[in-house]
Structure 1
Amino acid sequence: MSRRWYTPLGVNLLLGIPAIVPMLMLWFLLSNWPLAGMGLTARIPSSEHGDGPHAALLFFGPMIAAGGVLWWIVNRLLARRTQLTAPGYWLLSLTGLLIPTAVAVTVWP
């Protein structure tokens, strides 16, 4: 059963549900990180201390890293049991991971 394409898709859809929080944290970091003087989106005004995104990286970084490592370990074990090619498998896995975040962002009030 794990040789089919829908098994990794289902596993990554399930992993994508709790991954909504690290994905939003990653978006927050990317949108507020200075990139040639500008963030990717409108920056949140910093406090009077001017610590910028470094404090957010201190708090969000470990959770984002833990989510990425967990996703990689699960998919590394599952990739050996499928008949999919490596690029096809990882593209399917990444798509399955991002679907819950995309749904949550589009239906958010």
Structure 2
Amino acid sequence: MRKWLAVGAGVNLLLGVPGVVPVWLVWYWASNWPLAGLGWTQGEPTENDGMLPWFMVATPVLVLFGLAWWLVNRPVRRRAEVSGRLYWSVGAAATFVPTGALFAVSALHG
């Protein structure tokens, strides 16, 4: 039923609130990676500990969040009578809504 797609979107929207932390960790890691001369950001000049502490902190957080996200979505996906591609796309997009809202607010307040 399509109502389960709405339930999945709501669940993923709620999961996106604590999901701000893993997204921030990935962004911080990508912006400070020594080989990331992609021009997106400038690395933090005081970040001189190397990347090992970030791998030690970020890996468990990312794994736990990814596992929780998958375990919560799996039963809802089974009930949703829509294609898997549609369900997972809506779920991922809804998860990033709180992070996008924080980006928008921070851009407005400069």
TM-score class, shorter-chain normalisation, is 0.7 to 0.9
Partner residue, 1:29: 29
User: Size of the alignment, in residue pairs?
Assistant: 106
Could you tell me which runs of 5 or more consecutive residues in structure 2 were left unpaired when the two chains were aligned: none
1:86 Cα deviation (Å)? 0.6
- The one-letter amino acid of 2:98's match is P
- Give the TM-score taking structure 1 as reference length: 0.83
Asked if the contact 1:3–1:83 (Cα under 8 Å) also holds between the matched residues in 2, the reply is: no
Q: Which residues of 2 match residues 1-109 of structure 1 at below 5 A?
A: 3-35=3-35, 38=37, 40-46=40-46, 50-108=48-106, 109=109
Asked if the contact 1:46–1:52 (Cα under 8 Å) also holds between the matched residues in 2, the reply is: no
Q: Which has the higher helix share?
A: 2
What is the alpha-carbon distance in structure 2 between the residues aligned to residue 22 and residue 102 of structure 1? 14
Which one has more relative contact order, counting CA pairs under 8 Å at least 6 apart?
Answer: 2
Deviations 1:19-62 (A, max 9, x none): 11111111111111233x62652111255xx4322211211221
Q: CA RMSD in A?
A: 2.0
Asked if the contact 1:2–1:81 (Cα under 8 Å) also holds between the matched residues in 2, the reply is: no
- Give the TM-score taking structure 2 as reference length: 0.83
Could you tell me which runs of 5 or more consecutive residues in structure 1 were left unpaired when the two chains were aligned: none
